[in-house]
């Protein structure tokens, strides 16, 4: 791209192809543009094309103009998306792409052309690009960014001042003045937009340097931009009108202030003002200036102060100063907008007499100005909310803050029903003819809520901390703002499920009703004394008894009151009772009052049929929701009636219930079952109907939201968990439900985790049933469902969302719960080899291997043993791996399970071949020798190595070590097996002292004895063997270990030996009661720990632990036999020579200990 003109023309041609509708041309163009992104000059060419407003074409038609605009737009979008990616050096196809510093400087300079750009889309994209570059370059490489922006705004505003106010219609302005006004308005608007977006980007830097940078900018820019905004705002909204400002100096309280909808003198003057040239652009410019100044004010040091000064009184609190100037502007803007709405409404009635083209253009211009006014109004609310959220709400204690909150509260209180009835999908329509935009009302409520949280009933709250205000606010919130509107009812009727799910996901910062509910909750919490709002809500609740069940207004009022008492459940009574008295036992508590309401009001009302209209379904759903909120307050004597009611509401009865009612009932049943007061036997009469209704609802064809299915499966899971084996008769039907739920289209896996939990609860419920007959068939059927689900959950597309749950909650639970191995569960292990190598799943799959080892060790060894042990060896080959303990635990369990088989002597040779061929002993010994600094980890390795040695026949363990020495991993450090024995035996003896587990200490002592015995056997076969000599040389160290172990057993002879029966696996089971640990003070016979788990898996673990020959063998007798054999078969005298080097007194004491033990 050397020739500049040719390069520009080439890029234009490719961009022309890129805006075509031909997919082939579009693909080729994108490929070429991506290749050019590696050329630094490409970005300057894109800017040149984007800002080429004077481009002329031979065919000056509308089509050519549109094509030129499309090319310009695509050029700036490609620039914005690409330059952010390549601004820092980037490697593409193994080549580092770097934009030189001089080119970056030219790019930054060229971007300022956006200040003169009349097209809003192009200017917007350029502003975003500037903000992203500034995040990297300001202030180091772009120190004059804000200086230039500030100068542009100051100069443009000064030029507009010299031009004077724009003439109102029908007067006109000379072309030169109009052109100058348009240019300077554009510059001011674009500079304010760039400034606001850049400040927003810099504000997102949360580190200290970013905050300091914003504070410096605030000190630099606020003094100049604040006066510009004030003067420009006054010039833009220059119509005379009565003032009713919520100024910071006003002394009027919010409770007595009234909204003054001040209108201009007449509609003619307002129409002339609105029709002035560039009026919408002027309002938008004022809006953008406010956005920029708001971010600067929030970043000011004054935000940490409650006074008019900052930095310890050394400087002005500029944030507070700007705040004080906003109320007057806010009132002016609000009045102007309301008056303009009136103008639009009056003009719409006469628009029918105008030509259609004239009417549509007039309405389009009016909508544009109205949208600008509405956005400007919202920006004030955003500013106040940002103040209260900054630095622990210091702004809430500023002088004048209560007046602003009071002004907003008056607007929310006076909101019209038409504004409350705005559909949700029109909330973002800023040009809608609505007096009080929903977002404006939400801002008023959230501002009051956050202010109440900061005041906490302190004197600074003023009238907002008084009981009269709390009573008034409660009435407004409950009777006006918390009611369902026509849009809610229409959406409910159209799709009850979608409405119900959306109701639970509403955001109090976006929707009026949730905002009113949260404001009421905060009001009840912080109004002193506690319970004032609650008592008033009780009066509302009592008054609803007289409401008609047929009138729509009464139904909606009842719904709102029930919602209020549900939200404020913790503040419905004053401490000590309704009157706040602590004395007297006759005063009903909140729970008693709620229980009485449930029994006397809610249950009968939910069962109303003949006298209630179809609208009563709204009340039934709200009652189910209220019972969920009050689930902990339902009295024991009322529970049977509540259970019966909820089971009824779970049923599909057209005209009486719908999906919304049934989902609310399902959630409530789960909450009641999860309470401490739940009595499983008391729920038995309703269990069958409840499970059937929940299963029917979960599998219903009308359910299409994953959240709904999750609600049903969660309720089923809780019921199954609390009812336990009582659900066994229904288990077959519940298992049939699982495939249907799992096959639902759920790409985001919103419901699938709850399905996994649901299956795990079924497994837990049937695990204690006799393992024969129908239970065996049910178990096999359930395993046939579990295995495919586990495999599906491990697929790459969803593994990050489901795999850990599927392994730990489902696969391990299925193995733990079954008494017999089934082929589906066993063959899931074919995935184990790959899962072991993944850190995210290694622990879970090793836990599953432990369960399979205890359930069917021989089948696992013969089918997948070599693959699994090879994978273990790969993990153990890296001593620094964080996963090394998981394979050690699984191997330890496998050795114990195999050794406990009746045909162990037949299996033993196969086991030794697998150990040798997979190199697992090589990995174990190598890892042990390289983890000398980690005593706790090394003890587990020592225990496993010694257990393998104990069960190895003859001299085979010495052969395993010799094989290890020939492995490349070991040969570099230990080229001969004789070099391994001294450090290995020494390390085993050292780690014996670090072991807290008595069982493991005994296993270690037996392992050393087995090592000596293997050396004796080897010496008989091969006298003078070097390995034998090295082992014999470590006998003194072994005797020290044996002496300590034997003495420990002798001292504990009269005590409980349960500490020797503990399992030795270092892995704690995943959500299972069987706890595998080595600490002697956990579990055992002390009540608690793994002994409390009576599942088949726990029984197997206990059986394997108790039948372990390392536990049953007498250590002293075994040592005596080994030493006797060594002495009698010492053909070369090597063993006797070593024994002579030991102090005779030590030997006598050791022999005495062996004899007495």
Residue 272 CB neighbours (<10 A): 17
CA 554 – CA 544 distance, rounded (Å) = 8
Higher pLDDT, 315 or 522: 522
Does 543 map to a domain? yes
Tokens read off for 815: 């193995």
Which pLDDT does position 364 carry in this prediction?
Answer: 55
Does 519 map to a domain? yes
Residue 973 has pLDDT above 80, yes or no: no
List all residues 6 or more positions away from 388 whose beta carbon is below 8 Å from its beta carbon.
395, 396, 447, 450, 451, 454
Residues 1049-1105 have pLDDT tens digits of 776 654 444 555 544 454 433 333 333 333 333 333 333 333 356 788 888 988 888
Tokens read off for 90: 């980037």
Does 535 map to a domain? yes
Does 448 map to a domain? yes
Mean pLDDT within 1020-1034: 85
Residue 191 has pLDDT above 90, yes or no: yes
Among residues 525, 378, 379, the alpha carbon closest in space to that of 454 is found at 525
Q: Do residues 134 and 210 make contact, with C-beta atoms less than 8 angstroms apart? A: no
Residues 366-413 have pLDDT tens digits of 789 999 999 999 999 999 999 998 877 888 998 899 999 999 999 999
Residue 425 has pLDDT above 70, yes or no: yes
Residue 468 has pLDDT above 90, yes or no: yes
CA 114 – CA 119 distance, rounded (Å) = 9
121: phi > 0 → left, psi -120 to 50 → alpha, else beta; which? alpha
Question: Measuring CA to CA, how many Å separate 585 from each of 571, 576, 600?
Answer: 20, 10, 22
Among residues 283, 243, 277, the alpha carbon closest in space to that of 263 is found at 243
CA 620 – CA 633 distance, rounded (Å) = 19
Question: Measuring CA to CA, how many Å separate 366 from each of 280, 344, 377, 651?
Answer: 9, 7, 16, 53
Give the range with max mean pLDDT: 50-64, 580-594, 752-766, 767-781.
752-766
**DSSP conformation letters of 872-929:** HHHHHT-TT-TTTHHHHHHHHHHHHHHHTSTTHHHHHHHHHHHHHHHTHHHHHHHHHH
Give the range with max mean pLDDT: 364-373, 567-576, 750-759.
750-759
Does 479 map to a domain? yes
Question: Measuring CA to CA, how many Å separate 204 from each of 197, 200, 222, 380?
Answer: 11, 7, 19, 20
Residue 665 CB neighbours (<10 A): 31
Higher pLDDT, 223 or 768: 223
Q: Which residue has the tokens 């705005």?
A: 422
Q: Which residue has the tokens 């080595």?
A: 1078
Residue 931 has pLDDT above 70, yes or no: no
Higher pLDDT, 375 or 170: 375
Mean pLDDT within 477-492: 93
State percent of the chain over pLDDT 90. Answer: 51
**Tally of domains within the chain:** 1
Q: Do residues 848 and 825 make contact, with C-beta atoms less than 8 angstroms apart? A: no
Q: Do residues 391 and 306 make contact, with C-beta atoms less than 8 angstroms apart? A: no
Residues 206-220 have pLDDT tens digits of 888 888 899 899 999
Which pLDDT does position 257 carry in this prediction?
Answer: 39
Q: Do residues 68 and 55 make contact, with C-beta atoms less than 8 angstroms apart? A: yes
Which pLDDT does position 311 carry in this prediction?
Answer: 52
Mean pLDDT within 970-978: 74
Residue 703 has pLDDT above 90, yes or no: no
Mean pLDDT within 585-614: 79
Residue 126 CB neighbours (<10 A): 27
Q: How far apart are the first and last CA of the chain?
A: 93
Of 116-120, 306-310, 959-963, 1009-1013, the poorest mean pLDDT is in 306-310
Residue range(s) defining the domain that contains residue 577 = 444-586+600-620
Residues 522-557 have pLDDT tens digits of 999 999 888 899 999 999 999 999 998 889 999 999
Which pLDDT does position 72 carry in this prediction?
Answer: 93
Tokens read off for 358: 């004239």
The strand pair at 95-97 and 309-310 is best described as unpaired
Tokens read off for 20: 């075509």
Which pLDDT does position 961 carry in this prediction?
Answer: 87
Which pLDDT does position 793 carry in this prediction?
Answer: 95
758-762 long-range contacts, CB within 8 A, separation 24+: 758/713, 758/714, 758/716, 758/717, 758/720, 759/785, 759/786, 759/789, 759/810, 760/717, 760/809, 760/810, 760/813, 761/716, 761/717, 761/720, 761/721, 762/720, 762/727, 762/731, 762/734, 762/735
Does 1018 map to a domain? no
List all residues 6 or more positions away from 395 whose beta carbon is below 8 Å from its beta carbon.
303, 319, 320, 323, 387, 388, 401
Question: Measuring CA to CA, how many Å separate 419 from each of 415, 440, 512, 696, 988?
Answer: 7, 10, 10, 40, 80
CA 446 – CA 518 distance, rounded (Å) = 8
Rounded (to 5) percent helix, strand, coil in the chain: 70, 0, 30
Does 282 map to a domain? no
Which pLDDT does position 190 carry in this prediction?
Answer: 95
Check whether the bond before 707 is cis (ω within 30° of 0): no
CA 312 – CA 302 distance, rounded (Å) = 10
Q: Which residue has the tokens 């905002």?
A: 515
Q: Do residues 226 and 192 make contact, with C-beta atoms less than 8 angstroms apart? A: no
List all residues 6 or more positions away from 140 whose beta carbon is below 8 Å from its beta carbon.
none
CA 407 – CA 416 distance, rounded (Å) = 16
Residues 243-293 have pLDDT tens digits of 444 544 333 443 333 333 334 447 788 888 888 888 999 999 999 999 999
Helix axes 998-1021, 1115-1128, angle to 10 degrees: 20
Mean pLDDT within 111-120: 94
Question: Measuring CA to CA, how many Å separate 1141 from each of 277, 863, 1097, 1130, 1137?
Answer: 111, 50, 50, 16, 7
Mean pLDDT within 76-89: 88
Does 1111 map to a domain? no
In 3-state terms, what secondary structure has residue 171? coil
CA 57 – CA 41 distance, rounded (Å) = 25
CA 192 – CA 186 distance, rounded (Å) = 10
Q: What is the mean pLDDT of the chain?
A: 85
Which pLDDT does position 1146 carry in this prediction?
Answer: 86
Higher pLDDT, 887 or 879: 887
Which pLDDT does position 577 carry in this prediction?
Answer: 52
Residue 139 has pLDDT above 60, yes or no: yes
Higher pLDDT, 172 or 1155: 1155
Residues 1099-1146 have pLDDT tens digits of 898 888 888 888 889 999 999 999 999 888 887 788 888 888 888 888
CA 195 – CA 186 distance, rounded (Å) = 14
């Amino acid at each position: 791209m050397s020739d500049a003109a040719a390069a520009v023309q080439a890029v234009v041609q490719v961009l022309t192809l890129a805006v075509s509708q031909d997919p082939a041309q579009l693909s080729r163009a994108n490929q070429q543009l991506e290749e050019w992104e590696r050329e630094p000059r490409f970005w300057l060419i894109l800017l040149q094309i984007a800002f080429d407003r004077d481009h002329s074409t031979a065919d000056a038609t509308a089509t050519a103009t549109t094509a030129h605009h499309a090319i310009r737009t695509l050029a700036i979008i490609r620039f914005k998306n690409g330059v952010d990616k390549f601004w820092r050096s980037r490697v593409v196809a193994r080549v580092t792409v770097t934009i030189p510093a001089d080119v970056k400087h030219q790019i930054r300079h060229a971007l300022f052309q956006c200040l003169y750009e009349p097209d809003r889309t192009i200017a917007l994209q350029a502003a975003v690009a500037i903000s992203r570059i500034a995040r990297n370059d300001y202030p180091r490489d772009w120190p004059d960014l804000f200086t230039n922006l500030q100068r542009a705004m100051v100069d443009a505003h000064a030029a507009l001042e010299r031009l004077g106010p724009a003439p109102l219609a029908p007067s006109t302005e000379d072309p030169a003045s109009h052109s100058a006004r348009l240019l300077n308005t554009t510059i001011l608007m674009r500079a304010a937009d760039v400034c606001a977006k850049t400040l927003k980007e810099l504000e997102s830097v949360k580190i200290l340097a970013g905050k300091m940078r914003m504070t410096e900018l605030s000190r630099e820019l606020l003094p100049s931009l604040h006066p510009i905004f004030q003067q420009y705002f006054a010039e833009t909204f220059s119509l005379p009108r009565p003032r009713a400002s919520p100024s910071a100096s006003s002394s009027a309280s919010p409770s007595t202030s009234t909204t003054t909808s001040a209108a201009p003198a007449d509609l003619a003057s307002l129409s002339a003002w609105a029709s002035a040239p560039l009026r919408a652009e002027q309002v938008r410019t004022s809006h953008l200036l406010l956005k920029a100044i708001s971010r600067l004010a929030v970043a000011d040091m004054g935000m940490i102060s409650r006074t008019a000064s900052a930095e310890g009184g050394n400087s002005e609190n500029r944030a507070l100063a700007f705040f004080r100037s906003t109320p007057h502007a806010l009132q002016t803007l609000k009045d102007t907008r309301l008056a303009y709405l009136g103008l639009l409404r009056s003009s719409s009635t006469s628009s029918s007499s105008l030509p259609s083209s004239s009417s549509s253009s007039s309405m389009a211009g009016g909508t544009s100005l109205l949208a600008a006014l509405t956005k400007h109004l919202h920006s004030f609310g955003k500013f106040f909310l940002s103040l209260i959220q900054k630095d622990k709400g210091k702004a809430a204690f500023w002088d004048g803050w209560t007046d602003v909150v009071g002004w907003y509260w008056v607007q929310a209180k006076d909101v019209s029903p038409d504004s409350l009835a705005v559909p949700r999908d029109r909330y973002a329509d800023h040009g809608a003819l609505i007096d009080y935009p929903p977002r404006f009302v939400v801002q008023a409520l959230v501002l009051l809520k956050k202010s109440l949280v900061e005041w906490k009933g302190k004197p600074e709250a003023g009238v907002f901390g008084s009981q009269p205000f709390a009573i008034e606010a409660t009435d407004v919130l409950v009777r006006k703002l918390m009611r369902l509107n026509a849009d809610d009812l229409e959406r409910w009727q159209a799709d009850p499920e979608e409405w119900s799910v959306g109701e639970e996901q509403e955001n109090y910062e976006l929707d009026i009703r949730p905002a009113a509910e949260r404001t009421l909750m905060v009001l009840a919490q912080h109004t002193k004394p506690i319970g004032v709002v609650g008592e008033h809500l009780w009066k509302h609740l009592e008054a609803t008894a007289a409401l008609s069940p047929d009138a729509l207004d009464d139904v909606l009022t009842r719904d709102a009151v029930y919602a209020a008492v549900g939200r404020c459940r913790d503040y419905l009574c004053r401490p000590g009772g309704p009157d706040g008295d602590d004395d007297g036992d006759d005063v009903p508590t909140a729970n008693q009052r709620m229980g009485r309401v449930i029994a006397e009001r809610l249950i009968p009302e939910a069962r109303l049929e003949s006298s209630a209209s179809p609208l009563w379904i709204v009340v039934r759903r709200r009652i189910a929701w209220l019972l969920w909120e009050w689930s902990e307050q339902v009295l024991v004597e009322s529970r049977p009636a509540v259970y019966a009611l909820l089971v009824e509401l779970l049923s599909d009865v057209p005209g009486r219930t719908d999906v919304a009612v049934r989902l609310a009932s399902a959630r409530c049943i789960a909450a009641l079952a999860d309470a401490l007061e739940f009595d499983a036997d008391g729920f038995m009469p309703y269990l069958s109907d409840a499970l059937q209704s929940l299963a029917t609802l979960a599998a219903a064809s009308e359910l299409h939201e994953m959240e709904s299915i999750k609600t049903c499966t969660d309720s089923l899971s809780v019921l199954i968990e609390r009812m336990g084996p009582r659900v066994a008769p229904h288990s077959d039907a519940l298992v049939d439900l699982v495939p249907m739920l799992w096959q639902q289209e759920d790409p985001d896996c919103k419901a699938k985790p709850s399905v996994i939990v649901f299956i795990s609860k079924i497994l837990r419920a049937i695990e204690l049933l006799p393992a024969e007959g129908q239970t065996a068939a049910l178990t096999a059927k359930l395993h046939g469902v579990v295995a495919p689900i586990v495999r599906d959950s491990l697929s790459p597309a969803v593994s990050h969302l489901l795999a850990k749950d599927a392994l730990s909650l489902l696969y391990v639970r299925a193995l733990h719960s079954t008494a017999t191995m089934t082929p589906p569960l066993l063959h899931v292990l074919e995935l184990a080899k790959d899962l072991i190598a993944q850190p995210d799943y290694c622990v879970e799959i090793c836990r599953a291997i432990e369960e399979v080892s205890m359930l069917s060790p021989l089948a696992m060894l013969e089918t997948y043993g070599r693959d699994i042990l090879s994978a273990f060896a790969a993990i153990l080959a890296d001593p620094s791996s964080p996963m090394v303990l998981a394979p050690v635990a699984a191997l330890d369990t496998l050795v114990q399970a195999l050794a406990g088989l009746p045909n162990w002597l037949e299996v033993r040779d196969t086991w030794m071949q697998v150990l040798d061929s997979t190199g697992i002993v090589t990995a174990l010994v190598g890892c042990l020798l390289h983890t000398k600094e980690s005593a706790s980890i090394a003890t587990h390795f020592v225990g496993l190595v010694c257990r393998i040695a104990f069960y190895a026949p003859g001299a085979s363990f010495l052969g395993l070590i010799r094989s290890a020495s020939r492995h490349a991993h070991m040969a570099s450090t230990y080229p001969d097996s004789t070099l391994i024995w001294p450090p290995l035996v020494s390390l085993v003896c050292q780690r014996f002292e670090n072991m807290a587990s008595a069982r493991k200490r005994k296993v270690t002592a037996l392992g050393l004895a087995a090592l000596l015995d293997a050396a004796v056997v080897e010496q008989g076969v091969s006298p003078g063997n070097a390995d034998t000599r090295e082992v014999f040389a470590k006998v003194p160290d072994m005797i020290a270990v044996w002496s300590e172990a034997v003495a420990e057993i002798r001292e504990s002879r009269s005590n409980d030996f349960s500490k020797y029966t503990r399992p030795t696996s270092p892995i704690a089971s995943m959500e299972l009661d069987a706890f595998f640990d080595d600490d002697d003070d956990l579990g055992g016979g002390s009540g608690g720990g793994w002994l409390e788990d009576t599942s088949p898996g726990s029984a197997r673990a206990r059986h394997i632990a108790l039948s372990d020959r390392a536990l049953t063998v007498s250590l002293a007798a075994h040592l005596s036999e080994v030493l006797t054999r060594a002495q009698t078969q010492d053909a070369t005298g090597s063993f006797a020579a070593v024994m002579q080097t030991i102090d005779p007194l030590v030997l006598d004491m050791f022999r005495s200990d062996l004899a007495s033990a």
